[in-house]
Amino acid sequence: MDTIIQPKTDWKTLAHRLGKDFAKRAAESDLKGTFVNKNYQQLKKHQLFSAMIPEELGGGGMSHTEMCHFIKVIAQYCGSTALAFSMHQHLIAATAWKYKHKGEGEAMLRKVVDQQLVLISTGARDWLASNGELTKTEGGYLFTAKKAFASQSVAGDVAVTSGPYLNENKTWQVLHFSVPMKEKGVAVINDWDVLGMRATGSATIQFDQVFVPDSAVALARPRDGFHPVWDIVLTVAMPLIMSAYVGIAERAFDIAVTIGRKYARQQNHLPYIIGQLNNTLISAKSQWKAMYALTSNLDFQPNESTTMDILSYKTNVADATIATVSGAMEAIGGQGFYRKNELERLFRDVQAAAFHPLPKWEQYAFTGSRILV
């Protein structure tokens, strides 16, 4: 049995060691569209679901920057594992920020440490108005909704979600809360049959009259308009999520260089292709680094200006990573079109970068409308 390496002491070695195992299963998981359960078992064994939780709470004490790089490394071996894992980690990062700056969230963080819980985000469907229905009942609410794109929902323990509620003053709010996946009325719909990131287990969660106690509500905000909570969530989340795509782009570049050297048909213009490809990858990596620099290892004060920059960087990194993988396909020609070539999977996986909040045109509108005020 492997000796467990504490993430803080040698995370890079651990990432590559685990990644080599992940790579052996990546093609089959993609082909069948099955969740990366074995990879998650290994991540749990090494207590990586609590790696970013402060040491005084029993966690690994890994910094936000270190986690970004950890996710990037494992994405070079299995993009689906990296992306699904990043969804858990961004919820941990947001809670860790609240613990550090407001003294909140300790109970949840300790529970993750003790049980290696996997947290599921439904944030892609919760921006900004959320969806579903909440009705008041004794001691809490009854919640009905469908939440799509819920990464790792097939293997997660707790859904961190939200729903709209018309309060006693006839004012619409959005309530944020957590729901255990074993709660009565919670079901996972087997509908994750998609182009790329096929092994993330991002199936739709169905909530059918699920009881949400008053004590589970962490935030009540106006349904209309932008709330400052997103200044925290987006700032910590997007660097972690985009780490997966930067790792995919790096792997695609390496494949293009390795195969390109031997590809006779491209020799006359291969230096130009690789030179341009290197520039595109550098653009992706430099703006990704700027993203996590803004997070400052959770030592930042949330504000709308930082959020605007994070979202703009996210769009740019998504565009650059997609362009990098597309360029790698050009470098090796038609052989990249075959499923047997790893690059074909990377090309499909990287397309998902465009769909994380905010998609390009929504981000342009969000940023531009605030600049013009």
For residue 51, the tally of other CB atoms under 10 A from its CB is 24
How is residue 62 written in tokens?
Answer: 């890994």
pLDDT of residue 263: 75
Question: If you classify domain 7-117 with CATH, what class do you get?
Answer: mainly alpha
pLDDT of residue 128: 82
Count the helices and strands in the chain (H runs, E runs).
11, 8
Q: What is the pTM of this model?
A: 0.95
How is residue 68 written in tokens?
Answer: 């970004």
Q: Which residues pair with 204 in a beta bridge?
A: 189
Q: Which CATH superfamily is domain 229-371 in?
A: Butyryl-CoA Dehydrogenase, subunit A, domain 3 (1.20.140.10)
Q: Which residues neighbour 282 within 8 Å (Cβ) at sequence distance 6 or greater? A: none
How far the first Cα of the chain sits from its last, in Å, is: 60
Q: Where are the beta strands (DSSP E) in the chain?
A: 119-121, 133-137, 140-147, 158-166, 172-180, 186-189, 204-213, 217-222
Q: Which residues pair with 189 in a beta bridge?
A: 204
d(CA 127, CA 178): 16
For tokens 């985009």, the residue is 242
DSSP letters, 306-344, are HHHHHHHHHHHHHHHHHHHHHHHHHHHGGGGGSTTSHHH
pLDDT of residue 7: 42
pLDDT of residue 6: 47
For tokens 């996210």, the residue is 314
Q: Do the strands 133-137 and 140-147 form a parallel or antiparallel pair, or are they unpaired?
A: antiparallel
Question: Half-sphere exposure of 42 toward its Cβ, with a 13 Å CA cutoff?
Answer: 18
How is residue 321 written in tokens?
Answer: 């990573």
d(CA 311, CA 239): 10
Give me Rg for the CA atoms of the chain: 21
The CATH code belonging to domain 128-222 is: 2.40.110.10
d(CA 241, CA 71): 8
Do 70 and 15 meet the contact criterion of CB atoms below 8 Å apart?
yes
pLDDT of residue 125: 67
What's at 107, amino acid-wise?
Answer: A
d(CA 107, CA 93): 15
For tokens 């089959």, the residue is 28
Report which DSSP code applies to 181: T
Do 343 and 258 meet the contact criterion of CB atoms below 8 Å apart?
no
pLDDT of residue 225: 84
pLDDT of residue 266: 64
pLDDT of residue 264: 66
- Name the residue ranges covered by the structural domains of the chain: 7-117, 128-222, 229-371
pLDDT of residue 126: 77
The series of mean pLDDT values per 10 residues for the chain, 373 residues long, is 52 96 98 98 97 97 97 98 98 98 97 97 81 97 96 96 95 97 97 97 97 96 91 97 98 94 76 94 98 98 97 98 96 90 97 96 96 94
